Amino acid sequence: MSFKQILIAIDGSAPSIDAARTGFDLAADLSAKVTTIYIVDPPVPYSGGIGIAPDELLRVAGRDSEQAMTALRGAVQVPEGADHLVRVGHPAETILQVARDLRADMIVIGSHGRSGLGRVLLGSVAESVVRQASCPVLVVRKE
């Protein structure tokens, strides 16, 4: 299997920076195109007139995405030509949809390493992506 398009999920956290570093290195070794994605998970169910106004949600998404990219650029060299996407939605579902849209050959995602009750209460984006992805998923976890 060849890897031409790698999707890397980022959120500004240390695990996502570790995942990006690994994904960028892998992409360089394989001469693959890289796309990073930052997802804003709305804090309340969003529908038309309820919750956060769409323009405010997009403003917050853009601001938070820039903070995540600043943290990423401060820690690792982002490859020239890498694309960066910002989306609003449930993280696992959005990652999977964007991977399909891009026809990604691989998804790279960091894991916070939660287990037990923490994982049950908070869910696991990485676990959901691994279970449902139609392409290989590389989960990066640093101790």
> Which position has the higher pLDDT, 49 or 69?
69
Q: Binning pLDDT at 50, 70 and 90, where does residue 71 land?
A: confident
Domain residues for 83? 8-140
Residue for token pair 């195109």? 33
Percent of the chain with pLDDT over 90: 45
- Structure-token pair, residue 51: 């919750």
DSSP code of residue 78: P
Q: Give the per-residue pLDDT at 99.
A: 98
Q: Binning pLDDT at 50, 70 and 90, where does residue 45 land?
A: low
Number of domains in the chain: 1
Q: Give the per-residue pLDDT at 43.
A: 66
Q: Indicate whether 87 belongs to any domain.
A: yes
pLDDT of 107 strictly over 90: yes
pTM: 0.82
Read off the CATH number of the domain in which 113 is found: 3.40.50.620
Q: Indicate whether 3 belongs to any domain.
A: no
Contact 127, 3 (CB under 8 A): no
